[in-house]
Structure 1
Amino acid sequence: MAAENTIFQKVISLCSRHSYIFKAQQRCASGLYELGPLGMELKHNICTEWWYSMVTSQGNVYGVECPSINRELQHRHFTKTTGNATNDANTEHENESCRQEEDDHLYSVPSSVFRTSLYQGTLLQYLHIKDLANKQLPFGTAQKGTCFRHRREQGADRFIFDTQEFTQLSVQYYCFPNTAAQQLDSWQRQRLDWWRKFAENPSNFTATDIQTKDQVQTLDIQYKFPWGPDTIERIYNRGQLPMDELLRWMNEGEVDCKRRVDAAGIDQGSAKDGGKKDLVDMLKARHGRKQTLPHTIEMTTCVESGMLAYLLDGFSEKQDVAQSTQKSPPKGPLQVMTFHSKLAPIKVAIVIKGSAARALQEISQYLQGEFRKSNMNVIEMDRTLTLQQMYRRADAMGVLFTIFVHEDTVKDGTIGIRSLGEAIVQGQHITQVKEFVLRHINHE
C-alpha cells in the first residue's frame, strides 16, 4: 500500500508539471481542479470514444443536452425567499416577468439547485426519443454534462476522483421488461470490455456482482486504485420505476413535463379519470406487436474518475539508458505515461536538429499540417532542450512518436522516428511517416 501511495503522489506531481491537472487557483475553490492542455485533450478523447461506443455505433441511442440548473428547485427557492410565484392564474406577461426575476435571482441561490446527476433531465427527454425511435423498443438516451457534489467525502485526498464539479456520462436504455435482465448482463460485458480496451493493465478493471436494493439492481465497474477497488461506472436495472416516476411528474404538472403533455394534446385536468390512462398509454412503447411500459437500464460514469484510472494505469518508471552513458548528475528514473493511441493527448512531437533552420522549420510546419489533417494533435519541441530532456519530457507527456527533422531530411527526405519510451530512433522517409503513424494508431 505504501508503494502504491508513492506512485499516486508521483502521478499527481507529473500531472501538475506537465499541464494535465492541478488544483484550482481561485479562492474558496477547495475540492476543485483545473485542466491544462494535456488534461483537456485526455478528457476530450475519453468522451469522444465513449460517445462513439454508446451513441454513434449503437444506432438506437440518441444524444440530448439539458440545463445544469434544476429549474424546479430554483423556482421553490425563489418563491420561498421573495414571496413571488408563477401559477396558472397569472397572465402570460406576469409569468414571463416572474421568470425573468427568477433568472436575475439565480446568482444568489444555494448550490442545491445545481444538478447532482443527469438522471432527471435525461428521463424527461423520453417522449421525444420514443417518437424518434418510432415507438419501437429497445432505444436509449445519452447525455454528457456537468454535475456537482454538494459535499466531498471526508478522509484522504483522492485527487480528481471525487472532485466537487465533475462531468457525468449517462445512458438510459429502455427495453422490453422480459429482456431487462439479459440487457443488464449484455451492457455489463460491453462496458467492462470498453474500459479494458484502452488499458495497459486490463486486469485492474473488474465488475462486481449484482446487488439489489429497493427493487433496483446495480453493479459496478471498478478500478484498482491505491486505496483499493473503487467505482468508475455504475450500471442499474431500474425496472419500471423511471416510468412510474415520469407518470407522477406528469400527474403533478411538473413544469418540464407540462409542456410535453400539452404538445401531445393530453388534458391534465382529467388525469383522475380517463386522462390517467391516456398518460400511461402515452408512455408505452412497442415490442413487436405488444405495447408496454419499458424497463430502464441506466449507465453512469464520472469522466474525472475514469481519467484518474487511466493516468494511474499508464504510469511507469524505467531506467534512463541515455542518462547512464552521460556524466551529468542522475535525475532519477524515466517516468513514462503510456496511453492507448486513441486516448493519448499528443500523438506526435517534432524535433528540429541542425543549422538549416529555415528549411527545417518549413518541413516541420508541413508535417504538422499533414498530421492535423488526420485529426492528430502535434507539437514542436523546444530546441533549447538537450536530447535527454526531450526524451524525458515526451515520455512524461505520453507522446506516441517523436519525429526528428535534420539536415539529411533536406538532402534526401530521411527523418528519424522514436516510439514512446524507446531509446532507438528508426530511419523513415518523410513521405511514409504519416502512414506509419496512422497505421499504428488504427491498429490498436
Structure 2
Amino acid sequence: MSCCSYINSTGRAVMEGSDPASGMLQLLQRRFFIPPDHHHAVSLLKGKTCAYGPLGVDLKRNMLEQWWSAVVRSRPQVFGISTLHGIGAKGAGEVEDLLNQRDLTKEQLGERVSELLQQRQPFRTSLLQGALAQYVPSLELTNRKLPFGLAETGLCYRPEDGDSDAIGCSSEVTEASLTWFCSPRTSSQWLDYWTRHRLQWWRKFALGPSDFSVCDVRDDELNKSTLRGVKVLYQFPWGTETLETLWMLSDAELLRNHTGSQAELQCRDGKKIVLPHILSLSANVDRGVLAVLFNSLQHIQKVDSKQRLHQRTVLKLHPTLAPVKVALDMGKGSTSELRQVCEGLLHEFLDMEISAWPGYMDTTQSSMDKLHTKYDEMGVLFTVMVGENTLENGLLLVRNRDTTIRETMHISEIRQFILKYISTAENV
C-alpha cells in the first residue's frame, strides 16, 4: 500500500505507515477481511459500509446475529420489522394518511402529495422512520399495552461533507436499530436501562472493556423533540468515535409522522391511556466491526530458545464473533488418507454449523510457525492437525489460539469440545 492519509469521521488525518491504523488495514487486506482496494479501507475508517472479504462478511454477520439475539430474542415485546430503503424523511405512511383525508379536493390532494414527494430523499437516512410508520399496525400485537419495541437492521444513506474527497468512499452505513415505545413516566428509566444494556453488550466481546464508554449528549446538540441523548463510544488510536446513539424522544415525533386521529396512537400504561414516548437506539455496525477488530488486536513479544525476539500478532476475537472457529491441516503421513480424514471432519463441522477453514487444501508448503502466524492473524480459534497418529489411533493435535497450548485429543471429542468452548464464552 502506498503511503497516504485517510480521513476518519472526526476529520483527522490518519497517516498510513505512521500509526496503528496502517498496520490494522494491511492485516485486514492480507487476511481476507476487506478487499485490497484503497477506497474500501477509507470507507471502513470513516465508519461507512465497504466491500467485505470472506472473513469480514462472517465477522459482520456474527455481530448482527449477536445484536439481534441480545435485543430481540432475549426479551418479550420486541418485534422484528423490515422497511423499504426509499422511506426517506417523509415516509409512505404520510402519503397514505393524505389519501385517507376526505376533506381535501383532488387539486389539494395532488398538491400535498407533490410536496411530499419533493421532500422525500432517494434513500432512508435512518431506520427510525420505518419503525414509526409501522407503529399503528404493531399495536395489535401488544393489545395497545406499553412498553414494546420494533427492531430492524439494514443499510442507510448518510453522505457527509468531504466524502467527495475520498474517491469511491461509500455513503452507506449498516445500522442496527431498536425503537422502544414506553410511557412518559418511565422513559427516563428505560433510557438508563438500555444504556447499561448496550454498554454491557459491547464490553462482552472486548479484550479491553474500558475502551468502551458512554457519555450524555450535550443539551445544545438536542433538537426540539429530543429530551435526552446518550452515546456509546470507542477509543480508537486516533480518538473517540460514536458506535451507538440513544435518543429519548417526546410524543411529538409520533404526532409528526401520523397526522390522523390521536386516538389511534394511544396506548395503555396500566389503567391510564397515554401517548408513548420513544427511545431510539441506533448502532453503526460497520464502525462497530472496526472497533471490535482494534480491540481484539494484540502484539505479543516472546524470546525463542536461541534468545531471538519474535512478535506474535493475533486477532483475539471473541469466540462467538470469530469468523473461523477451526482450521484443518495435515501433518506427516499418507496424503490421500489424511485428506480423506480432513474432508470428513470438515463436513461434520459444517453440519454442526462450526465454521471451518480447509487449510489442508493449500498445496504450498509452509512451516508450522508461518501457519500459526496466518491463523492467528485471521483470528482462528483452534488449529487441528491431522497426522499419522490420527490414522493409527484417532488422535489429533489441537492448538489453542489464545494460549498457544497444543494438546492431544481424540477425533471423536473435537466437535463437542469446540461447541462447548463457544457456548461457554457466549454465556459469560
Q: TM-score, normalised by structure 1?
A: 0.78
Which structure 2 residues correspond to residues 18-417 of structure 1 after superposition, within 5 A? 18-22=31-35, 33-70=50-87, 89=106, 112-153=121-162, 163-212=170-219, 213=222, 214=224, 215-247=226-258, 250-251=259-260, 279-319=261-301, 333-381=311-359, 382-386=362-366, 387-417=368-398
User: Is the CA contact (8 Å cut-off) linking 1:4 and 1:226 kept in structure 2?
Assistant: no
Residue 331 of structure 2 aligns with an amino acid whose one-letter code is K
Unaligned segments of structure 1, at least 5 residues: 76-86, 91-108, 252-278
Distance in 2 between the 1:285 and 1:244 partners? Answer: 14
User: Is the CA contact (8 Å cut-off) linking 2:91 and 2:120 kept in structure 1?
Assistant: no
User: Is 1:10 paired with 2:10?
Assistant: no
Residue 28 of structure 2 aligns with an amino acid whose one-letter code is C
Residue 418 of structure 1 aligns with an amino acid whose one-letter code is R
Q: Provide closer, same or farther for how the CA distance between residues 321 and 164 of structure 1 changes in structure 2, counting only shifts above 3 A.
A: farther
Distance in 2 between the 1:286 and 1:220 partners? Answer: 30
Residue 330 of structure 2 aligns with an amino acid whose one-letter code is I
Q: Provide closer, same or farther for how the CA distance between residues 210 and 4 of structure 1 changes in structure 2, counting only shifts above 3 A.
A: farther
Deviation of 1:156 (Å): 11
Q: Provide closer, same or farther for how the CA distance between residues 430 and 422 of structure 1 changes in structure 2, counting only shifts above 3 A.
A: same
Q: Provide closer, same or farther for how the CA distance between residues 71 and 297 of structure 1 changes in structure 2, counting only shifts above 3 A.
A: closer
Distance in 2 between the 1:185 and 1:115 partners? Answer: 28
User: Is the CA contact (8 Å cut-off) linking 1:42 and 1:345 kept in structure 2?
Assistant: yes
Q: Provide closer, same or farther for how the CA distance between residues 47 and 5 of structure 1 changes in structure 2, counting only shifts above 3 A.
A: farther
DSSP-derived class of the 2:19 partner: helix
Distance in 2 between the 1:296 and 1:131 partners? Answer: 18
Q: Provide closer, same or farther for how the CA distance between residues 38 and 60 of structure 1 changes in structure 2, counting only shifts above 3 A.
A: same
User: Is 1:427 paired with 2:376?
Assistant: no
Distance in 1 between the 2:120 and 2:26 partners? Answer: 31
User: Is the CA contact (8 Å cut-off) linking 2:180 and 2:280 kept in structure 1?
Assistant: yes
Deviation of 1:25 (Å): 7.9
Distance in 2 between the 1:156 and 1:320 partners? Answer: 43
User: Is the CA contact (8 Å cut-off) linking 1:114 and 1:148 kept in structure 2?
Assistant: yes
User: Is the CA contact (8 Å cut-off) linking 1:321 and 1:423 kept in structure 2?
Assistant: no
Residue 326 of structure 2 aligns with an amino acid whose one-letter code is V
Deviation of 1:371 (Å): 1.8
DSSP-derived class of the 1:174 partner: strand
Distance in 2 between the 1:139 and 1:5 partners? Answer: 48
- Alpha-carbon RMSD across the aligned residues, in angstroms, is 3.5
Q: Provide closer, same or farther for how the CA distance between residues 13 and 245 of structure 1 changes in structure 2, counting only shifts above 3 A.
A: same
Distance in 2 between the 1:110 and 1:176 partners? Answer: 31
Map Cα deviations across residues 373-420 of structure 1 (whole Å, 9 max, x no partner).
222110111252421221111000000000000011011000000011
Residue 393 of structure 1 aligns with an amino acid whose one-letter code is K
Q: Provide closer, same or farther for how the CA distance between residues 156 and 72 of structure 1 changes in structure 2, counting only shifts above 3 A.
A: closer
DSSP-derived class of the 2:187 partner: helix
DSSP-derived class of the 2:336 partner: helix
Residue 291 of structure 1 aligns with an amino acid whose one-letter code is I
Q: Provide closer, same or farther for how the CA distance between residues 88 and 150 of structure 1 changes in structure 2, counting only shifts above 3 A.
A: farther
Whichever of the two has the greater Rg, that structure is 1
Unaligned segments of structure 2, at least 5 residues: 1-13, 93-103, 108-117
Q: Provide closer, same or farther for how the CA distance between residues 398 and 26 of structure 1 changes in structure 2, counting only shifts above 3 A.
A: closer
* Identical counterparts, % of pairs: 30
DSSP-derived class of the 2:35 partner: strand
Distance in 2 between the 1:194 and 1:347 partners? Answer: 21
DSSP-derived class of the 1:426 partner: strand
Q: Provide closer, same or farther for how the CA distance between residues 290 and 67 of structure 1 changes in structure 2, counting only shifts above 3 A.
A: same
Q: Give the paired residue count.
A: 382
Name the structure 2 match of 1:98: none
Distance in 1 between the 2:140 and 2:402 partners? Answer: 51
Distance in 2 between the 1:117 and 1:5 partners? Answer: 35
